[in-house]
Structure 1
Amino acid sequence: MELTLFSEILLLLAISVGLVAIFRRLKLAPILAYLVAGIIVGPSLFNFLSEAKEISFVGELGIVFLLFSLGLEFSFPRLIAMRQLVFGVGLVQVVVTLLIILLVCFVSGYNWQSALVVACALALSSTAIVIKQLTENGKLQSKRGQLAVSILLFQDLAVVPMLIVIPIIAGASQVNLASSLLMALLNGALVFVLLISVGKWLLPRLFNEIAQARSDELFVLTTILVALLTGAITHLFGLSMALGAFLAGMMLGESQYKHQLEADIRPFRDILMGLFFISVGMQLDIAILAQSLHWLILFVAIVLAIKLLIIQMIARCFKQSKADAWAAGIMLCQMGEFGFVIAALALEQGLISKHLASMLVGVGVISMAITPYLINHSSRFAQFLAKQTEEQEQDATESQTEQLQEHVVICGFGRVGQIVSRFLKLESIPYVALDVDPTRVQEAKAAYEPVHFGDSRKVEVLKAVGIEKAKLVIIAFDDLNKSLTVIDLVKKYAANAKILVRTGNDDNLEALIEAGADEVIPETLEGSLMLVSHVMLHSGVPVKRIFGRVRRERKNHYNGLHGFYRGDSYKQDEREVEYLHAVTLTDNAFAVGLHLNELDLPLRGVEVTALRRDGKEYYNPEPDMELQPQDVLIILGVPRRVERAERFLFEGA
């Protein structure tokens, strides 16, 4: 039995890995790969798994971790700043879509429970795919991007009551339905108050102690324990485990551990969510879909059309431009990943038939598969539908990349890469940067920096930023193997480009030069040279002699700096470092209409280093500049002060 289970898991992993790799190449969402894997191993095709129930149970934990991650992203300042769109367009979109789909289902002969499930599943859009595509295209901070994000934010909030209501309507008779819902509401309020009151003072202190221990394993285990424990508490009160995980994530979303928590939970979340979607795919009956393929295609077309028209009309009612309204509708007309969650839960509770569940999953698969194409071409479709051929969405980074000639490519946009970029910008030297940190790329793109997410060791990524036309390539990360790979690729595809490599010390200097680097800058030794230069200058040594000594040292590959006494190495406590953060002011932000000097931001421990308005960037803006909607402020400070300053800009004191 154990060998059979092991073999089944091994087979499932092999199929999943192969399909995810193929779907990645096709630029399709991994969710679709897991669904297809479930179809292959499920009873519809080969029926490989004898322990399907156990896999489904483990996969359901993925929903808990998904809601925990969603709670981490839930930001009260962001919600308040975007309240007009979130509780305006977002709320009306969900309500109107629910009512219209309910009406269509009633006319089609479904009972009210099944109709409600279908309406809930189809009212939601895919947060994961839409946000990913908008981020990669650099359109997340555009007006239509923010409109789409606002709608998605309310949809994500609406998921929680939907997951609570479905088990209740399944277990309650029509007579005591109202009392069951009232009891669930009271239990929910009690759990909310309990978890919020305990979590506000207990969880931050707990993670402070865990962080002091400096143990990665302990931090990860505590994160998992908190997510599951809060889920268990809500389950004891007869509510969804996902609700407890969401509340725990929401409480920790305002802490300084937010990004570390998200990074720690992501591998478990992704793996378990993969198992969940495999279990959903196993429930899909291919025979049913084959017999009803024409109805499925018609169903998909109707759903896309209904959601597109609803979002467009609601956005227009809230005074959004025609093009932005159409674009938001095109981006959000698909069924989302939470639709699969709702369909699986409803099937488990007996609210919908297997035929209807298969149809819902089929609609989700097809609509999500075409979503990247729809988003990539949303501007063109929106302009056509709005009959505004002259209107073009601003996409500064894309146009810059297409027009780059004789530019600089920066591989790695960490602290060193950002310092280099600032000096290049001051001299009006065109550049483009690559980095694999999604948060950093998103922050930089919000400030309209020409930064793209991608691994510089991949030929396709380098070609996308015009490596053939580059005059200089700067490798700003300190990793020998990665640097050698990038050097090799640059030599193949941009033989005339100069290559500068940053490294920590000169241990690998010869290897990098032999590989083809034109110049290697050892960071530690260069810092020592600069210090020595200042010492000699203050000691009265002529500047010419100082420059001569430094030049000779570099020419001799820093040999004169070798040979020193080493002490016991130790690690100092890391101090909080200042970082840059871009803040886009909304129409209702507190700071709109005020002058910079009226905000007294320096007293709050932050500094405004730049302001971007209408495509122009103002460095060290004048204190008397009056702030306007859609202004992008680049603020500098330590994390906690930056977060407080952002909240102040949106809400005031």
Structure 2
Amino acid sequence: MSSHIEILAILMSAVVIVWLFRRLHLPAILAYLVAGMLVGEHGFAFAHEHVDYDKFAELGIVFLLFTLGLEFSLPKLLAMRNLVIAVGSLQVAISLVVFIIIALLTGQSFASAFVIGSVLALSSTAIVIRQLSETGSMKRKSGQISVAVLLFQDVAVVPLLIIIPMFAQDSDTSMLLALLIALVKGVVVVTVLLMTGKWLLPKLFTLVAQVRTDELFVLTTLLVTLVASALTQWFGLSMALGAFLAGIMLGESQYKHQLEADIRPYRDILLGLFFVTVGMKFNIDVLIESPFQILAILVGFMAVKVFVIQKLSVMAGAQQKDAWASGLMLAQMGEFGFVLIALANQTQILPTNVSSILLGVGIISMAITPFMIEHARTLGVWLSNDKVANTEHLEQLPENTQLKDHVIICGFGRIGQTVSRFLKQENIEFIAIDMDPLRASKARDAGENILFGSSRKKELLEAANLSEAKLVVIAFGEDKQSLEVIRKVRTLSPNVPILVRTRNDDQLVALQSAGANQVVPESLEGSLMLVSQVLSLTGVPFSRIYRRVQTERKNHYNHLHGFYQGENTNLSPDAIDRIEFAHAIHLNDDSFACGQSIKALNFDPRRIVIVALHRGDTETENPDDNTILCSQDTLIVRGKPRRVELIERFLQEGS
């Protein structure tokens, strides 16, 4: 099969399987692995292992380590140093030793056992961090422990990438010498790169940024990454190490976010190719022939990791339920495990059948990770036998039982504190709920009536005397958490008014459907405030401004939803289903809609809204349904991008 047919087979399988897996809410990494399994020589043999694939795929790891370096924060590491050292470092060390011993007992060589231990000791940063962010669990103690462990694991990957190739040395006696030489080389190359990053790179990117050419910025980013990788490779070290150092150098610069945005498309495509090449090496026959062996390894290694993390977390001062939850979140094998497997295969350290078994175990463990993270807290409470896990903050209950006709503020950040200040000025009683322990402590010391905990918990809402409250304000601006709070409040008090703050209008309808009486999108309210100031400064009477603003609020900001797209408009798959566009449709002599009334065209107002009609020099807002459309008219419509495209085709062609 020719190379371009092989590439076509890889791309087609990747597109179809990634789409299917995302529909099933499974990680894209798994999709790439499965795609590789199907097209590889152990699957349908559409593509064969080829050196060119591996070369390109290696660049995916280079860019992955570069973005990891960008996100790596030394101040954050220092701030979490107790958890990182007490839990993260010991988790990697203990898990590594346990898995090495088990592998040696099963007859593996020390080099092979070390690779197996390294692979199984690591967890998936990409999946866990994403799930924690989506579920709003990052601020919980279990989430903080998980992040601390992942931080250390990310650092531990770098020395593992250096050590594993050294097992391919001809004699065991050269190992210590090779490690010492690698250490010296590492110190030299790190010094050179850090000095370059401190003195040269900021000036270089400043010069490039002044040109204001996106292509040049992208090219410079790629060049810096690849030069740093080539330098470490020239010193006999891993290319990934150079990329990681380059990322660290630029991580504290003002260009960090732009660099990450520029490199992401290359990273995702090449990383996808890397995981496809890993999947191509997986022999599906091993899964068929040894299902019980794979299941035993899967359950065994996950149980070991859960137990180790749980014990270390408790020793670090965490509660039992948080310790169990953290262990369950981090039980899977990580994406860097596949990197180490590929590296071990290149140096022929790991037997082929062991590689296939590890790949199968890793794929299955990552597949069940989203479910485990979603239910980690519930399982943690069950495993800890913590019958009063959700009543830990009820010591404040007695002092709030006298509250009546008060306001409950969920989230006591800047917005919540501003709301409380105005309530105080009007002598309106309130109680706040916030899950930031430092903020809650400082606010309580200052005399504020505040409960520490999650406003999604029934016990906290009852402690705030929800049954007697006259208003609930959800002020933290995280839509998924807000939806949970709304549903919980509605189950406890069906009639209490709920006011929700949200950052934009993406989830406006969902929040209202869940039971919110008023939703205040910051972006749209900011637009209204700006409009009010503009109209006031141009001489429009205040009464007319007030009426216009109130009308817009009563109409649920309808006229503020659609906007004309620009070059920087987010058109990602996640955003395209939420945003609405305003779009101008110009009618000519041959347009289907000419001579017909708006009513006859039978628009569905729930899908497409006609904002205005331009005819000559006049503009009519919300034109009447009986208006006859003419040639040279311009209709301004608002709706989702795909619907706008369809309605334009209908107006022009009648289909």
Which range, TM-score by smaller chain?
Answer: 0.5 to 0.7
Tell me the CA shift for residue 127 of structure 1: 0.8
Tell me the CA shift for residue 323 of structure 1: 1.9
1:340 aligned residue: 338
Tell me the CA shift for residue 522 of structure 1: 6.4
Q: Distance in 1 between matches of 2:520 and 2:318?
A: 47
2:374 aligned residue: 376
Q: Distance in 2 between matches of 1:29 and 1:166?
A: 27
1:140 aligned residue: 138
Q: Deviations over 1:382-406 (max 9, x none)?
A: 12221212113999xxxxxxxxxxx
Q: Deviations over 1:161-215 (max 9, x none)?
A: 0001111111342121211111111111110111111111111111122222222
Q: Distance in 2 between matches of 1:207 and 1:167?
A: 34
One-letter identity of the residue aligned with 1:451: G
TM-aligned CA distance change 1:172 to 1:324, over 3 Å: farther
One-letter identity of the residue aligned with 2:301: V
User: TM-score, normalized by length of structure 2?
Assistant: 0.66
Tell me the CA shift for residue 23 of structure 1: 1.2
- Of 451, 464, 480, 2:477 maps to 451
Q: Deviations over 1:9-42 (max 9, x none)?
A: 3332222122112211222111000000000110
TM-aligned CA distance change 1:66 to 1:284, over 3 Å: same
TM-aligned CA distance change 1:472 to 1:242, over 3 Å: same
TM-aligned CA distance change 1:383 to 1:354, over 3 Å: same
Tell me the CA shift for residue 450 of structure 1: 3.6
Tell me the SS of whatever aligns to 1:139.
Answer: coil
Q: Distance in 2 between matches of 1:340 and 1:260?
A: 28
Mean Cα displacement is larger for which, 51-60 or 365-374?
A: 51-60
One-letter identity of the residue aligned with 1:64: V
Q: Distance in 1 between matches of 2:46 and 2:136?
A: 42
Q: Distance in 1 between matches of 2:334 and 2:549?
A: 57
One-letter identity of the residue aligned with 1:33: A
User: TM-score, normalized by length of structure 1?
Assistant: 0.66
Q: Deviations over 1:90-127 (max 9, x none)?
A: 11111111111111111110000100000010110111
One-letter identity of the residue aligned with 1:210: V
Q: Distance in 2 between matches of 1:449 and 1:249?
A: 35
TM-aligned CA distance change 1:7 to 1:81, over 3 Å: same
TM-aligned CA distance change 1:453 to 1:8, over 3 Å: farther
TM-aligned CA distance change 1:210 to 1:311, over 3 Å: same
1:547 aligned residue: 542
1:530 aligned residue: 536
- Of 49, 66, 69, 2:47 maps to 49
Tell me the CA shift for residue 502 of structure 1: 9.5
2:186 aligned residue: 188
Note if contact 1:330-1:374 (Cα within 8 Å) is conserved in structure 2: yes
1:171 aligned residue: 169
1:401 aligned residue: none
TM-aligned CA distance change 1:496 to 1:199, over 3 Å: closer
Q: Deviations over 1:369-391 (max 9, x none)?
A: 11111111111211222121211
Tell me the CA shift for residue 87 of structure 1: 1.8
1:25 aligned residue: 23
1:515 aligned residue: none
Q: Distance in 1 between matches of 2:127 and 2:290?
A: 27
TM-aligned CA distance change 1:159 to 1:498, over 3 Å: closer
Tell me the CA shift for residue 306 of structure 1: 1.0
Note if contact 1:19-1:34 (Cα within 8 Å) is conserved in structure 2: yes
TM-aligned CA distance change 1:383 to 1:554, over 3 Å: closer
Q: Distance in 1 between matches of 2:422 and 2:531?
A: 26
1:9 aligned residue: 7
Mean Cα displacement is larger for which, 272-281 or 162-171?
A: 162-171
- Of 360, 365, 368, 1:367 maps to 365
Q: Distance in 2 between matches of 1:272 and 1:332?
A: 26
Q: Distance in 2 between matches of 1:174 and 1:525?
A: 75
Note if contact 1:142-1:394 (Cα within 8 Å) is conserved in structure 2: no
Q: Distance in 2 between matches of 1:556 and 1:91?
A: 59
Note if contact 1:168-1:180 (Cα within 8 Å) is conserved in structure 2: yes
1:70 aligned residue: 68
1:622 aligned residue: none
Q: Distance in 1 between matches of 2:548 and 2:477?
A: 35
Tell me the SS of whatever aligns to 1:392.
Answer: helix
2:121 aligned residue: 123
TM-aligned CA distance change 1:76 to 1:531, over 3 Å: same
Q: Does 1:294 align with 2:292?
A: yes
TM-aligned CA distance change 1:200 to 1:471, over 3 Å: same
> What are the ranges of 5 or more consecutive residues in structure 1 without an aligned counterpart?
396-406, 408-417, 431-444, 478-482, 505-518, 537-545, 558-653
Q: Distance in 2 between matches of 1:380 and 1:555?
A: 44
Q: Distance in 2 between matches of 1:425 and 1:362?
A: 57
Tell me the SS of whatever aligns to 1:171.
Answer: coil
Q: Distance in 1 between matches of 2:211 and 2:15?
A: 36
RMSD of the alignment, in Å?
Answer: 4.2
Q: Does 1:253 align with 2:236?
A: no
Tell me the CA shift for residue 261 of structure 1: 1.4
Q: Does 1:39 align with 2:45?
A: no
Mean Cα displacement is larger for which, 250-259 or 315-324?
A: 315-324
Note if contact 1:500-1:521 (Cα within 8 Å) is conserved in structure 2: no
One-letter identity of the residue aligned with 1:85: L
One-letter identity of the residue aligned with 1:39: M
TM-aligned CA distance change 1:7 to 1:526, over 3 Å: farther
Note if contact 2:500-2:516 (Cα within 8 Å) is conserved in structure 1: no
1:230 aligned residue: 228
Note if contact 2:128-2:329 (Cα within 8 Å) is conserved in structure 1: yes
TM-aligned CA distance change 1:196 to 1:424, over 3 Å: same
Tell me the CA shift for residue 315 of structure 1: 2.1
TM-aligned CA distance change 1:268 to 1:419, over 3 Å: farther
Tell me the SS of whatever aligns to 1:335.
Answer: coil
TM-aligned CA distance change 1:150 to 1:475, over 3 Å: closer
Q: Distance in 2 between matches of 1:355 and 1:10?
A: 29
Q: Distance in 1 between matches of 2:244 and 2:375?
A: 34
Note if contact 2:498-2:515 (Cα within 8 Å) is conserved in structure 1: no
Q: Distance in 1 between matches of 2:392 and 2:196?
A: 46
Q: Distance in 2 between matches of 1:223 and 1:321?
A: 44
Which is greater in Rg? Answer: 2
Q: Distance in 2 between matches of 1:490 and 1:375?
A: 24
Note if contact 1:136-1:453 (Cα within 8 Å) is conserved in structure 2: no
Q: Distance in 2 between matches of 1:547 and 1:334?
A: 61
Alignment of 1:590-605 (within 5 A): none
Q: Distance in 2 between matches of 1:463 and 1:8?
A: 51
Q: Distance in 2 between matches of 1:85 and 1:134?
A: 18
Tell me the CA shift for residue 219 of structure 1: 1.5
- Larger RCO, structures 1/2 (Cα 8 Å, 6+ apart): 1
Tell me the CA shift for residue 332 of structure 1: 1.0
Alignment of 1:550-561 (within 5 A): 550=545
Tell me the CA shift for residue 324 of structure 1: 2.0
Q: Distance in 1 between matches of 2:498 and 2:315?
A: 50
One-letter identity of the residue aligned with 2:10: L
Q: Distance in 2 between matches of 1:126 and 1:352?
A: 21
TM-aligned CA distance change 1:337 to 1:499, over 3 Å: closer
Tell me the CA shift for residue 319 of structure 1: 3.0
Tell me the CA shift for residue 464 of structure 1: 12
Q: Distance in 2 between matches of 1:239 and 1:520?
A: 52
- Of 335, 348, 351, 1:350 maps to 348
Q: Deviations over 1:230-278 (max 9, x none)?
A: 0000000000000000001111111122222112211111111110000
2:97 aligned residue: 99
1:599 aligned residue: none
Tell me the CA shift for residue 424 of structure 1: 10
Tell me the CA shift for residue 7 of structure 1: 3.6
Q: Distance in 2 between matches of 1:520 and 1:142?
A: 31
